Structure 1
């Protein structure tokens, strides 16, 4: 009997330990696939777009902002680019170095991509209700997609020695993420990504993994693209890869080439559970992400449909969602005849399978509005989807005369967004996919969904009273500009909310 009691005691102990191990395993598995909250977005895109709201106004109105070459960069290309159009940030050279505590000489030596990353990072913090100055010392990681833009070669005349001292760091692709970490005092990892057109989606994927692994508390993920020199344009033009009218005809029968464009954007991310505990705003949720490579194809620039199918399935598995639960895909859709057809075929083979009758996958691309922003394409797509969730409708994709004939649309399970579509809240969780591809073969896919519903905070009843709106800036001109923006906002916003945000979530200067 003593031996039997001893055995029972041992078995109870083992059972308890197994239950604890199962709980720890379940917790670890849950954390490894935890949704990631998008807290704030800062962006710059062609057409004077300086916020996600500006981008929404553009796509919702069905406008495109493709135009002529920038005039302030000293491009002397003669007839080499006659008639070439694209999407450009024409004021990319404008920057306030004093705001970031930078010497004007050092700022002059900096690639405008680094300057735009500084601006959009500040805005991503502020739009999340977090004072950027208060983020100093935080475990915030930085993942930035950047390519070499050739800015030093734009300084044709021999620059003075004091500028030369800053040219190396100011134009280092690798130092772009480190610049952000240094200026904002962030102590998480700082990584610059260059996989060409998939740079920002790879940056987002790395940020999601770092947050889930507990490597950081917040993550900044995005990128920048400014063509300081026209070399990429000239190369695409020489090889007849540019659309003659400069417009991306995404997934269209009339697709006739790429529209190259510029942009910059930064997303501030946090684990959803942490964001909820801290009361941070959640604009959308990243449920799953994946990246992969084409591998050996019939040419390094030839896309692989099989690889695209694999990366979509991997992102769905990472988010633990099914293909038929996704409503829309923000596609790559650069307007390349072969590439667009391969992309649609991969969507038909994944999202187009086992869909309920009468509910095809909807497909569109923001490139039809602003062109192909290269390293920043994923940020543009996320910003568009976030605003579509907020406004409960999907904007149409422009310049589509009919679906590309290089894919078999006959199953009817994938349909182009040739007209705006309602995307209303309801019993079904709204989800979207986002795809990015690139010539060098790196593919990426995200699964994004609407944020969980929140109970509206009860506002205490009481008599109406004057609400102070606190304004501060580092210069008189900046103060006036802020006052103008406030005047345009306060007529439609709740004054108490505006006053509270100005006082508690913005830096005091």
Structure 2
């Protein structure tokens, strides 16, 4: 028997039933983040002392070799990054010392999202729940592998991006698809898109998806400064003639997804529904390899709707 969505040639909407998040400024719950957004606040501030040697790296003059053109960003404090209950997640101290803080944040926000959805963790063990984690930064891995004498198996599993989604599936005991997604800035959105498609295809009954980003090394910011991509004042000005770059930020967010019909049947609290999504590539429609093309962007919007 076909559903209304199938008879119309459409994909069933996906319900968001749980959210977990960590953002700078102690935005550690969906409610705190929502209040922050409603108030029109910003957590962009000067890069914390001790993160990078700003005195030697910063230069306001554009194009200076080996220098970054910005002092701004949304960064966690050292205390926020270092706080991690490794015992709670069944991780030994030696392994925890080699665990990318991004994987720590994924564990914490995933647990938070599942709890927020009101799902008993022990009852989900052994299920086909899927994981799609967006992650592209490899700063911790680069730092860890700089000490060749200190390398061991934990260094590879703790810092490798490939292991991020698998670690979540392992911790929860889930058997559904488990992928780490790296499409640069769109990684978390593509991860959610893939999760929606897996649910609609019947590959899983429940999915956890989202992403994480930390800025632990200055190299990417320096490289982007050389390309004129960093806003000197630390402000994004999307759609404005005064736009002069963007600002880098840290954070993590995960959502629990379920087919809308199932969520309604199960009586889940539904934050929102995803009516459609799509992924494409600009090909050569952009002026440069890293420049979005208007044609590709407009096509993507039509495809998603």
Both structures adopt the same fold (TM-score exceeding 0.5): yes
Instruction: Go from structure 1 to structure 2 and tell me whether the alpha carbon gap of 1:296 and 1:258 turns closer, same or farther (over 3 Å shift).
Output: same
1:279 lines up with 2:243 in the alignment: no
Q: Match of 2:164?
A: 176
Q: In the aligned structure 2, how far is the partner of 1:289 from the partner of 1:156?
A: 37
1:305 lines up with 2:294 in the alignment: yes
1:55 lines up with 2:33 in the alignment: yes
Match runs of 1:393-472 below 5 Å: none
Match runs of 1:167-206 below 5 Å: 167-206=155-194
Q: In the aligned structure 2, how far is the partner of 1:140 from the partner of 1:198?
A: 23
Give the counterpart of 1:43 among 21, 27, 34: 21
1:229 lines up with 2:217 in the alignment: yes
1:136 lines up with 2:114 in the alignment: no
Moved more, 273-282 or 248-257: 248-257
Instruction: Go from structure 1 to structure 2 and tell me whether the alpha carbon gap of 1:31 and 1:177 turns closer, same or farther (over 3 Å shift).
Output: farther
Aligned residues: 292
Q: In the aligned structure 2, how far is the partner of 1:157 from the partner of 1:203?
A: 30
Structure 1 unaligned segments of length 5 or more: list them: 1-22, 317-509
Q: Match of 2:72?
A: 85
Q: In the aligned structure 2, how far is the partner of 1:84 from the partner of 1:304?
A: 29
**1:286-333 deviation digits (Å, cap 9, x = unpaired):** 1111111101133201221111111111111xxxxxxxxxxxxxxxxx
Shift of the alpha carbon at 1:27?
7.2
- Secondary structure of the 1:100 match is coil
Instruction: Go from structure 1 to structure 2 and tell me whether the alpha carbon gap of 1:202 and 1:156 turns closer, same or farther (over 3 Å shift).
Output: closer
Matched-pair contact (CA < 8 Å) for 1:34–1:287: yes
Q: Match of 2:89?
A: 100
Structure 2 unaligned segments of length 5 or more: list them: 60-69
Q: In the aligned structure 2, how far is the partner of 1:217 from the partner of 1:70?
A: 42
Q: In the aligned structure 1, how far is the partner of 2:209 from the partner of 2:145?
A: 33
Matched-pair contact (CA < 8 Å) for 1:31–1:213: no
- Secondary structure of the 2:88 match is helix
Matched-pair contact (CA < 8 Å) for 2:76–2:250: yes
Instruction: Go from structure 1 to structure 2 and tell me whether the alpha carbon gap of 1:246 and 1:27 turns closer, same or farther (over 3 Å shift).
Output: closer
Shift of the alpha carbon at 1:30?
6.3
Select the structure with the greater relative contact order (CA < 8 A; seq sep ≥ 6).
2
Matched-pair contact (CA < 8 Å) for 2:138–2:161: no
Shift of the alpha carbon at 1:157?
8.3
TM-score by length of 2: 0.89
Shift of the alpha carbon at 1:31?
8.8
**1:240-268 deviation digits (Å, cap 9, x = unpaired):** 32111112123223322111111111010
**1:432-491 deviation digits (Å, cap 9, x = unpaired):** xxxxxxxxxxxxxxxxxxxxxxxxxxxxxxxxxxxxxxxxxxxxxxxxxxxxxxxxxxxx
Instruction: Go from structure 1 to structure 2 and tell me whether the alpha carbon gap of 1:307 and 1:152 turns closer, same or farther (over 3 Å shift).
Output: closer
1:69 lines up with 2:47 in the alignment: yes
- Secondary structure of the 1:97 match is coil
- Alignment RMSD (CA, Å): 2.2
Matched-pair contact (CA < 8 Å) for 1:143–1:204: yes
Shift of the alpha carbon at 1:198?
0.8
Shift of the alpha carbon at 1:53?
1.2
Shift of the alpha carbon at 1:24?
4.6
Q: In the aligned structure 1, how far is the partner of 2:121 from the partner of 2:149?
A: 33
**1:273-297 deviation digits (Å, cap 9, x = unpaired):** 1111111111111111111110113
TM-score by length of 1: 0.54
Matched-pair contact (CA < 8 Å) for 1:139–1:187: yes
Moved over 6 A (4+): none
Give the counterpart of 1:239 among 227, 238, 244: 227
Instruction: Go from structure 1 to structure 2 and tell me whether the alpha carbon gap of 1:29 and 1:159 turns closer, same or farther (over 3 Å shift).
Output: farther
Q: In the aligned structure 1, how far is the partner of 2:213 from the partner of 2:28?
A: 15
Q: In the aligned structure 2, how far is the partner of 1:166 from the partner of 1:240?
A: 37
Matched-pair contact (CA < 8 Å) for 2:5–2:12: no
Matched-pair contact (CA < 8 Å) for 1:109–1:164: no
Shift of the alpha carbon at 1:100?
0.6
Q: Match of 1:109?
A: 98
Q: In the aligned structure 2, how far is the partner of 1:157 from the partner of 1:293?
A: 34
**1:127-163 deviation digits (Å, cap 9, x = unpaired):** 01112233211110001110132213435985885x7
